[in-house]
Amino acid sequence: MAGTMTGMLLNAFQEGGAVGGIPDIGVRLSIWFIAMFMLAVGGAMIYLRMRELEKDPHSYDSKQD
Amino acid sequence: MSDPMKWFDGRIPLRELSAFLRRKIVPGHGQMFWYLFGGLTLLFICIQLVTGILLSLYYQPTPETAFESVARITNNVNFGWLIRGIHRWSAHLVVFCVLVHMASKYFFVAYRKPREATWISGMMLLGIVVGFAFTGYLLPWTKEGYFATQIGIEIPGSMPLVGGFIARFLRGGEYVDGVTLTRVFSLHAVILPLISLAIILFHLIQNQYTGSALPKGRRPGREIPFLPDFLYRDTLAWIVGIMVLLTCSLIFPIETGLKADTLASPPEGIRPEWYFIPLYQTIKWLPAYILGLNTEIFINAGVGCLVMALFLLPWIHRTREEIFSGTDRTFRIIGIAGLLYFIVTVVYSWLVP
């Protein structure tokens, strides 16, 4: 898994692999769904932390735990 | 090592910097939403910088190779089409966010003392963003970009005295050709980024020092520390911004278009980008000559006066307030009229091509 990810990152924006230009709408929608899901999860976590901080302003100070 | 910050003590003033950053307070009120557009502008500028560097790895700024290199990025480079789409859509979003940010500061009357320098540096950044958009349009060497640049240079070129010099300087001669492309690339990729980075830094330091302004008429109340409370709000706005950017880039990808033919006549119905539409539509609505003089002279004079008035706004406002004892609503009315004119011209131009 890590090897595949590293390979993908190293090959990103390199010439040769991609042919045929802009992918069709199905491929683009798949990328869109994955990106939106990840961003929504990240956004929800930040929102929850923000609300937690509003209720207890010192909760970010780990020394108090 | 128990405290990694200790190593920096006496070497780099990180503690002082951290204390300076933690000092920032954001006023808490019902219109805090508008504060987010400054951060969003910064986000999209950073995206422009990163995607621009990636595109420059393959782009070749000559008339013979520019179009082919952009086609190569789109068709042969892994995710090249996406990087190019993000760069183009992010450019639209930078202009949009800068305009909203500026309008919100105008209506908050945030340009008054002690924030005059922040306002002026913001105005300079608006000019630079427009410069980026104008210079970036020619780079793919497409038919639309070529003729839009040709027409775009003619407008400042009609200015009395300095117009001819400006047009020749931008074109690098009498016509838009290879020299223009190199010149525009140099402006887009080197000169404007360097100037903008310096001004952005100054704008941010100024903002850090003076803090965000309250909307006019509001009394100071609840205060929110920027770090970490407001940064959470900024991060949420950035996530929404990235969602919008990815949606536009993936659903409406940027096609390669047609290569510019310098000998062909301009295509029918050629139009500038949406942010130049108010100026373009005004030229279209006005007759070719007013009082025996070319209309472009009046347009140039009007744009010059508007830019000058916006730069001098903090002092013009103060003078008017002294005369009208603080009861003057002229600036609010002018602002609303200007905003409505912008929206109406863009919508009209979209509905009636």
Q: Would you call B239 and A14 a contact, using CB atoms and an 8 Å cutoff?
A: no
Taking one residue from A and the other from B, the number of pairs with CB-CB distance under 8 angstroms is 78
Q: What is the pLDDT of residues B195-230, one digit of tens each?
A: 999 999 999 999 988 888 888 777 777 888 888 888
Whether residue A18 lies within 8 A of chain B, CB to CB, comes out as yes
Q: Output B55-61 pairs: Cβ under 8 A, ≥24 positions apart.
A: B55/B83, B55/B84, B55/B87, B56/B189, B57/A13, B58/A15, B59/B139, B59/B185, B61/B139, B61/B181, B61/B182, B61/B185
CATH hierarchy code of domain B29-259: 1.20.810.10
Which of A15, A39, A49 lies at the smallest CB-CB distance from B76? Answer: A15
pLDDT at position A60, please? 57
Q: What is the pLDDT of residues B46-60, one digit of tens each?
A: 999 999 999 999 999
Which of B78, B236, B240 lies at the smallest CB-CB distance from A13? Answer: B78
CB contacts, 8 Å: A28 with chain B: 250-251, 253
DSSP sequence for B157-203 = HTSTTTHHHHHHHHHTSSSSSHHHHHHHHHIIIIIHHHHHHHHHHHH
Give residue limits of the domains in chain B: 29-259, 269-353
Q: What is the pLDDT of residues B263-319, one digit of tens each?
A: 888 777 777 889 999 998 998 899 988 888 888 888 888 999 999 999 999 999 887
pLDDT at position A65, please? 45
Q: What is the pLDDT of residues B161-177, one digit of tens each?
A: 788 888 898 898 888 99
Whether residue A33 lies within 8 A of chain B, CB to CB, comes out as no
Whole-number Cα distances in Å, B328 to B61, B316, B317, B324, B333? 52, 12, 9, 6, 10
Q: Which residue in B255, B200, B266 sits closest to B42, CA to CA? A: B200
Whether residue B43 lies within 8 A of chain A, CB to CB, comes out as no
> pTM of the entire structure?
0.90
DSSP 8-state symbol, B7: G
Q: Would you call A46 and B235 a contact, using CB atoms and an 8 Å cutoff?
A: yes
ipTM of the complex: 0.82
